[in-house]
Chain A
């Protein structure tokens, strides 16, 4: 079976410093693949390259066997590739609700002429989108701040909003960059349940960067370990936690 995401021999350097060094990874369809690695290993950079926010120096990214390296971020979105940002990128002057409502692609009302000529259709779609957005807000525990400007949310709430956005449209692959950081653990438990459900019931594929081992342990299989821009190892969480190299680089010697 072709992997849904196939990253081939990516290289990326910033002014002489190589950050991703001939890195290849595969994510198989329907999996929740974890990605861990020391700070500065290049995980977020790799995400940016997959999602199209950064262009690689060389190498290729394939989605469902098709090369998407030349596509822009918004075109990749339309192919079903969604992502969150490690440092929240909310629309600070839109309310939480609007932050979600603007996500669904191809809304009739986004066409200037349709807004003038087909107001009925626009309104109908809008109601539909709002319904969905309210559901998602409920889901991530933000209903009570739905009319608050996103810029005024707390740090954790912004992260939740990031997550909520990926649920606003049918995705094939969702890239999650440290959504747990700053999120209350009780709430996180619920969210993990929902991620699993999306994965099982709707067939979403997830690629998850995380430093929270509980979460990785509960959700992810397999787990890829990235270090210094290269894949150090790949395997189940158990294998990884017992690998001395990984322990040394990532967990620190005194814990495991």
Chain B
């Protein structure tokens, strides 16, 4: 028994099936208009920058739309994968620190890493002791004790080596390789971590996944932030090389336009791949699993593998997007990865555009990013106007005007989420229902 449910995508999609995609055209036309307005008011250099960033966010949003829109996995840890991608891009592209490699530190670090592997292997071995008849309780106790002791030992070694790295050579430096290599590895790294997380969490309920991913993102960030030997921590690394000539060489506009063309090509490729996959039986299977796992298992689909696959796929995109974004920003700062900017904003993009609809996601990414960027100055202007009126009528003189105005931006993003959910719960360009006649 269900209450009258207005969720009737079938019929709504039916009615517009054959006509021109008027809705899409109108929305994208409107978006183009908005972007042009920005170009006119903010100048081409800044606006191109905005577009590049929006395109990086679009890659992130596509990653999320796969996970959430396709498969119903709600990943609230986007920030973590972005940070991983950013780290990889940084590590590959910045110059080699010769002081580090000339010292005995790489060797020592290598030994510690080896010790880490050995300890893990020992603990793993102990945890398998029950296979040869050791009682389970004893095995568990042994494993925990060995793990704890091993952990404390390795950690103290690691602390000493990293302490020396920090005091002698500051940090280990980079690899001095082309940056696109870092992007690819960033994707792989994020995918790898995604695999690990998925392994633990995907069996859980969806709301647990939200919390777990939220936490893991914090862990990744805490690690990057506090591992000064690896990332320089809060001291930040900049500038980062670009795959195309940078503004110092060819000026802001040209450099950014070149960068934009790189990201646009990437998006086009990703888009094409996703489109193919979604409209193939693969997409149908994923939606089926999202709907009803018990039944999908009974229909012979291997749920865990598929969920894993899709989670990793999404994470890879997030890693790549994060890498591209970080390179563009020209600065690696672990503290700069914030849930608000790198998780919730992406979330809003996907909600607004339409989870599960790639085109909608793209639309959402660009629109929301423009709103996000413009909301700062706009909030300020509005606030100034209000205060001007307020002081005129009531002699109201609030302090901290600018600070307060910018808080309003957080408010606006929140309100935007709610309004979209309220009036277009499935996004402005909703997921389509497949029809066959």
Contact = CB atoms under 8 A, between A and B. Distances in A.
Q: How large is the interface on A (under 10, 10 to 19, 20 to 34, 35 or more residues)?
A: 35 or more
Contacts of A149: 8-10, 433
Contacts of A110: 280-282, 285, 301
A125 B282 CA distance: 13
A94 B294 contact: no
B284 A53 contact: no
B295 A90 contact: yes
A85 B296 CA distance: 12
B248 to A, nearest CB: 39
A74 B302 CA distance: 6
B8 A91 contact: no
B298 interface: yes
A119 interface: yes
Interface stretch (A9-17, A100-108, A206-214, A233-241): A100-108
A152 interface: yes
Interface string A188-205: 000000000000000000
A93 interface: yes
Interface string B290-334: 111011111111110000010001000000000000000000000
Interface string A148-159: 110010000000
Nearest to A111: B282
Describe B's contact surface by its main secondary structure. Answer: helix
A146 B436 contact: yes
B300 A105 contact: yes
A101 B285 CA distance: 9
A61 B9 CA distance: 43
B273 A116 contact: yes
B300 A98 contact: no
B131 interface: no
Nearest to A148: B10
Interface string B264-295: 00000000010011001110110110111011
Interface residues of B, number: 35
Contact of B294 (A89, A102, A130, A147): A89
B299 A147 contact: no
Contacts of B14: 147
Contacts of B434: 95, 98
A95 B435 contact: yes
Contacts of B299: 74, 77, 102-103, 165
A73 interface: yes
B276 A115 contact: yes
B287 A112 contact: no
A102 B281 contact: yes
- Which of B8, B281, B282, B287 has the largest count of A CB atoms less than 10 A from its CB? B281
The 9 closest A-B pairs by CB, nearest first: A77-B300, A109-B281, A89-B295, A109-B280, A115-B280, A91-B291, A73-B297, A107-B281, A115-B277
Interface of B: 5, 8-10, 14, 273, 276-277, 280-282, 284-285, 287-288, 290-292, 294-303, 309, 313, 433-437
Given A99-B288, A147-B436, A148-B10, 12 more contacts: A74-B300, A94-B288, A94-B291, A98-B434, A102-B281, A102-B299, A110-B281, A115-B280, A122-B281, A126-B281, A129-B281, A134-B436
5 contacts: A53-B294, A74-B303, A97-B436, A99-B288, A134-B436
